[in-house]
Structure 1
Amino acid sequence: MNALSRTQVVLKPAVASKGGVVAAQNRLAAAVGAEILENGGDAVDAAVATSFALGVLEPWMSGPAGGGAMVIWRAEEAKAYSVFYGMRSPAGIDPADYPLSASGTASDLFPWKSVVGDRNVEGATSIAVPGTINGIGTAHKHFGRMSWRELLQPAAIHARRGFQIDWYAALIIASATRSLAKDPDAAALFLEDGQWPPVPPWTALDDRRVQNARMADTICYLAEEGFREFYEGEIAKHLAADVQAKGGSLSFDDLRTYHAEMRQAALVPYRDGGFYVAPDLTAGPTFADVFHHLTRSIASPCAEPESQAYCAYADAIDSAYRARLAEAGDREAPHRPACTTHFSVVDRHGNMVAKTQTLLSVFGSRVVSPSTGLLLNNGIMWFDPEPGHPNSLAPAKRCLMNVCPVIGETGEARFAIGASGGRKILPAVAQLSSFLIDYRMSLEEAFHQPRIDVSGGPAVIGDEMLAPKIIEALSERRRVVTTKRTVYPNAFACPTGVMRKGGINYGASEIMSPWADAVAESFPRGVA
């Protein structure tokens, strides 16, 4: 039993607007994207600005030196596109440099056999080739309307000004203090005196900030030189040199040869609509498998999801995950915190972006590049260090990810949705999508509806707010553990989404996240 209140109710109304809306895990980053929409930018323009702003304002979750995937909807074409920008192992990496320990499992997200010194978990040896900038740059090249330079300026301003250390930021930094202290550059950036976590503020006048002038300089340079500068120019050379000086394998050639993959996305039919998902090494194919099962098991939806629906969710997600584990080798520990962020955008014309980006673990490798000011990923941890498995570590190999950006359509509405939370992402996005399509919920209703998590652990995790009869029905078939939907730790993922219905745009975010929010552009001039 815990001491948390049983009577407290948390509500977070959805935002509605005839203008564009950005929903993100950080309100200030969402506001950056909304301002781009107000200035006439496309949804992809807003996504560029929001992506960089999140890397500054929520640095432990994502950043320019990470990876991910996105799905884009183009209203005029009535077509969807996916962009895959997952991380890749360096070409010069040697699996023999990651010897297995005599016993035990890894200390972070994945229950791989542990590696001597956790070389695949943190430090420069855990750094993979990043793809985020190439992914968002590729999308902008095809669909952007505003200049690349203009879109990066807000992030540079925020990096120079710094983000405020409130109680939530202090909590997240404290959770990784020991690891951050091992890297002098990370310690200098995030810790007090290079060794202590910041103390939460006690008054409203406390305005301590994490400022990153070096990152601001890097963003400004990228703004002038273009996104390929990160992979082919001076930034690439400095970044590779920094990683190698700290013992990693990332090289200039690894960066120079990296390119995101963009393709038209096919519709996964469902009911009177369907979904556009990210392909290949994401949770997109597993998401499609879930709804293949739900087509048969939720034949006639009721007014709201009841016991039969939640049992169907548990069966469908469990079956899809079993197939994924057998075929792809993804064996992530389901209830450890992952370092990922998701945001969704809709503009006044109905164009949409669902974008997920990540460093993998909280604070990634816990290493900062001194030349660029960038916090670096620990993508090598995505690989199984034991040889002979589908996802075993090898040179120049793409990482398998759990990111699941989705654009769905119901026949009367369209939505863009996704989440952070490792293997909790898929169950959250699948249930929210079902709420929206099967039960015709509003975005606000869907985000407040209690969920379950079925992501490979020994039990179904059920929200305490579910009706007792639903918990009872689940318990007849599976072991069920109930827990409260809280800020930290988050047992049910952290989603954000937007919807367009009847010419009105809506945005919503995880109700328990203190930073997440949806922000609408100011009412467009000349629109009735």
Structure 2
Amino acid sequence: MNAQKITYILAAVVVAGLLIYVGVTNFGGSDQSGSSSEEESAQNDSNSSSGASSDIASGSNYEGYGVSTDNELATEAGMQILEQGGNAADAAVATSFALTVTEPYGSGIGGGGAALVMNGPNASPEVYDYREEASTTNRALNVAVPGFVKGMAALHEEQGSGQFTLAELMQPAIDYAENGYEINSYLASRMYYAQPRLNQQNSPAFYDENGNLLQEGDTLVQEEYAQTLRTIQENGPESFYSANGAIAQQLTTDYSHITPESLQQYNVQTPEVAQGTFEGQNVYSAPSPLSGVTLIQMLGMGERLNIGEALQGNEADYIHMMSAITREAYYQRLENLGDPEFNEITTEEYVSEGTIDDLAQNVREERLDTEELENATGYNSSDGQNTITHSSTTHVNVMDADGNTVALTNTLGNFFGSGQTSAGMFLNNQLNNYNETPSSPNNIEIGKRPRSFIAPTIIQDPEEETVMGIGSPGGSRIPTAMAEVIFRMEYLDESYEEAFAANRSFVDVVEGQATLAIENGDQPENAELIEEINSKYGDRYFIAPDKGPSYFGNVTSLIKDYDDEEMQGIIDQRRGGSAQTQ
């Protein structure tokens, strides 16, 4: 990803008079054409998305491995599996279960997620969608059918090394739940702000014997949740999804809209990956109804609009261009993306070269200058989808010695999900993530999966001979936070750590009012920037009060460099995190 790095993929080496040429092969093939409107579809029929060349690591035996997550204990659980002979999928499963204990606000067996699995540095990733499904059309009931347990079981069964049972991969999580761990500052703050929903009756583990909420430095022991994990460990996923399963029986008793049939019928989906290119790199991400399509569109628009020049030049102009790109991509998401099982959605169409050309032209002609705010709604509150506060998610990257990569993002929706519990587990609030508008591709229907901003992503750079897993929590800020980091890594001469730590911005348009949040915008060192934005674009944006660092996500990545034979785990410290590499 670093533009300063000297590469040597296409090099001619004379050895004993023999010319050895290492060629770079073409990857992918043609995607279906796409357009941003019916009127433009005819002219775009011949446009297609072409993958970048992808033959990397052709002469490398580099066996580096690593794990990066939002939590040190979970990272340690994954590394132990890798060091004991497990592969990336094994470690990702162990890490994910551990995170349900160590970050109970961010993910859980009462939630869901999605994973990308790349088996080798030159492979096309496979997608596992284990998002929640609606078993009712009453959004007020909050809880959708969880998919986490079946998702982890599928990853283990279909992608695991065979060296570990699912029960063994769950053991670190059970140990953390039974033995407890010290509450860190971020968990303590999340517990404090969640008190209206995190009450002692539903969540006694989070309170002491005097009824006081546990504090930073206290030990959190989750005995009831540990027992639920043990039930799955001993009886398998059927205990969660079978009508006769102990967990299923309690869940359907506690929440009657989740029926035995809805649990039994739940399946993990394996759709085609969303694939695009950015500056010669292959970008793979999660397809609709997830937001990998949105991320790919943003990266493609940035490349076409020369956002690198803006980034290297005037910061106010860069923020304005980033905001325009965000609004265009989010508008397309709002209008077009939803569960493809219920909508005629072809992912290739929305990430094709022709479609992204059109979107970039829209930004150039309509958003950077004339500012058509009526088309700027990314998640307008009047649309009936409450996504602004649903910011609690966790991301995992794992790479093993054989070159396999897993990037996955798990979520409960809001912090601690709905705040409702069953069998010691927090339950999601994903029914809130459907739209009320009947014409929306994200309107609520039984069996449908809601749209989500999560975008687990793998980026393969043939020129630099690197593979990167990347993702973030942060609700609606996820694609924007990831795009800003990727832009900085590509276009600026700065370290990865500097790219991740740099201030971010986010534009939110609600009922025609564009509100611009700028990280640390209230600090003296940014006073001139705010003044310049107001001077140049004050008629277009309302500058929001500072939102605090965690508002802007917590981008987590893991990079394997086959050229320099090194691993790097880069962790955004807005919410904390941990990476270990070997």
Q: TM-score, normalised by structure 2?
A: 0.72
**CA 1:262–1:94 in structure 2 vs 1: closer, same or farther (change >3 Å)?**
closer
Match of 2:322 among 295, 313, 321: 313
Q: CA RMSD in A?
A: 2.9
- In 1, Cα distance between the equivalents of 2:479 and 2:177? 32
- Relative contact order higher in (CA < 8 Å, ≥ 6 apart): 1
Alignment of 1:47 onto 2:92:
yes
Match of 1:436 among 470, 489, 500: 489
Letter in 2 for 1:220: R
Q: TM-score, normalised by structure 1?
A: 0.79
Match of 2:118 among 46, 57, 73: 73
Alignment of 1:391 onto 2:452:
no
Match of 1:214 among 224, 244, 248: 224
Alignment of 1:459 onto 2:515:
yes
Corresponding residue SS for 1:151:
helix
Could you tell me which residue of structure 2 aligns to residue 197 of structure 1? 213
Give CA-to-partner distance per residue, 1:365-407, whole Å, 9 cap, x none.
212213xx22211221112346554433332221111111111
Could you tell me which residue of structure 1 aligns to residue 577 of structure 2? 516
**CA 1:30–1:251 in structure 2 vs 1: closer, same or farther (change >3 Å)?**
same
- In 2, Cα distance between the equivalents of 1:26 and 1:135? 21
**CA 1:247–1:150 in structure 2 vs 1: closer, same or farther (change >3 Å)?**
closer
Corresponding residue SS for 1:179:
coil
- In 2, Cα distance between the equivalents of 1:127 and 1:485? 28
Cα offset, 1:512, TM superposition? 2.8
Letter in 1 for 2:434: F
User: Are the equivalent residues in 2 in contact too, given 1:73–1:353 (CA < 8 A)?
Assistant: yes
Corresponding residue SS for 1:491:
helix
**CA 1:426–1:76 in structure 2 vs 1: closer, same or farther (change >3 Å)?**
closer
User: Are the equivalent residues in 2 in contact too, given 1:452–1:462 (CA < 8 A)?
Assistant: yes
Could you tell me which residue of structure 1 aligns to residue 145 of structure 2? 129
Cα offset, 1:437, TM superposition? 3.1
Give CA-to-partner distance per residue, 1:333-362, whole Å, 9 cap, x none.
665352211121222333221111111111
**CA 1:161–1:300 in structure 2 vs 1: closer, same or farther (change >3 Å)?**
closer
- In 1, Cα distance between the equivalents of 2:232 and 2:93? 13
- In 2, Cα distance between the equivalents of 1:166 and 1:266? 36
Structure 1 or 2, whichever has the larger Rg, is: 2
**CA 1:473–1:406 in structure 2 vs 1: closer, same or farther (change >3 Å)?**
farther
Could you tell me which residue of structure 1 aligns to residue 551 of structure 2? 491
User: Are the equivalent residues in 1 in contact too, given 2:240–2:248 (CA < 8 A)?
Assistant: no
Corresponding residue SS for 2:569:
strand
Could you tell me which residue of structure 1 aligns to residue 257 of structure 2? 249
Q: Give the number of equivalent residue pairs.
A: 461
Corresponding residue SS for 2:481:
helix
- In 1, Cα distance between the equivalents of 2:559 and 2:547? 24
Could you tell me which residue of structure 1 aligns to residue 37 of structure 2? none
Could you tell me which residue of structure 2 aligns to residue 63 of structure 1? 108
Instruction: Summarize the alignment of residues 103-502 of structure 1 with structure 2, pairs less than 5 Å apart.
Output: 120=140, 125-145=141-161, 146-147=163-164, 148-181=166-199, 184=201, 186-192=202-208, 196-201=212-217, 208-232=218-242, 234=244, 237-298=245-306, 301=309, 304=312, 306-307=314-315, 308-328=317-337, 331=380, 336=389, 338-370=391-423, 373-385=424-436, 387=438, 389-410=440-461, 411-412=463-464, 413-439=466-492, 442-456=495-509, 458-464=514-520, 471=530, 474-475=533-534, 476-477=536-537, 478-479=540-541, 481=543, 486=548, 490-501=550-561, 502=564
Give CA-to-partner distance per residue, 1:121-143, whole Å, 9 cap, x none.
xxxx3211111222222222222
- In 1, Cα distance between the equivalents of 2:239 and 2:255? 23
**CA 1:76–1:94 in structure 2 vs 1: closer, same or farther (change >3 Å)?**
closer
- In 2, Cα distance between the equivalents of 1:228 and 1:437? 46
- In 1, Cα distance between the equivalents of 2:188 and 2:82? 32
- In 1, Cα distance between the equivalents of 2:76 and 2:312? 33
Could you tell me which residue of structure 2 aligns to residue 106 of structure 1? none
User: Are the equivalent residues in 2 in contact too, given 1:241–1:251 (CA < 8 A)?
Assistant: no
User: Are the equivalent residues in 1 in contact too, given 2:116–2:286 (CA < 8 A)?
Assistant: yes
Could you tell me which residue of structure 1 aligns to residue 15 of structure 2? none
**CA 1:459–1:60 in structure 2 vs 1: closer, same or farther (change >3 Å)?**
same
- In 1, Cα distance between the equivalents of 2:285 and 2:261? 31
- In 1, Cα distance between the equivalents of 2:386 and 2:143? 20
Letter in 1 for 2:113: G
- In 1, Cα distance between the equivalents of 2:496 and 2:119? 21
- In 1, Cα distance between the equivalents of 2:306 and 2:395? 28
Corresponding residue SS for 1:392:
coil
Cα offset, 1:483, TM superposition? 6.3
User: Are the equivalent residues in 2 in contact too, given 1:366–1:376 (CA < 8 A)?
Assistant: yes
Could you tell me which residue of structure 1 aligns to residue 64 of structure 2? 19
- In 2, Cα distance between the equivalents of 1:451 and 1:300? 15
**CA 1:47–1:200 in structure 2 vs 1: closer, same or farther (change >3 Å)?**
closer
Could you tell me which residue of structure 1 aligns to residue 82 of structure 2? 37
- In 2, Cα distance between the equivalents of 1:298 and 1:379? 37
- In 1, Cα distance between the equivalents of 2:263 and 2:494? 44
- In 2, Cα distance between the equivalents of 1:302 and 1:452? 15
- In 1, Cα distance between the equivalents of 2:509 and 2:486? 20
User: Are the equivalent residues in 1 in contact too, given 2:243–2:260 (CA < 8 A)?
Assistant: no
User: Are the equivalent residues in 2 in contact too, given 1:453–1:460 (CA < 8 A)?
Assistant: yes
**CA 1:420–1:345 in structure 2 vs 1: closer, same or farther (change >3 Å)?**
same
User: Are the equivalent residues in 1 in contact too, given 2:285–2:458 (CA < 8 A)?
Assistant: yes
Give CA-to-partner distance per residue, 1:21-75, whole Å, 9 cap, x none.
2111111111111111121221111100110000011111111110111222221
Corresponding residue SS for 1:180:
coil
**CA 1:286–1:194 in structure 2 vs 1: closer, same or farther (change >3 Å)?**
farther
Could you tell me which runs of 5 or more consecutive residues in structure 2 were left unpaired when the two chains were aligned: 1-61, 339-378
Letter in 1 for 2:221: Q
**CA 1:389–1:503 in structure 2 vs 1: closer, same or farther (change >3 Å)?**
same
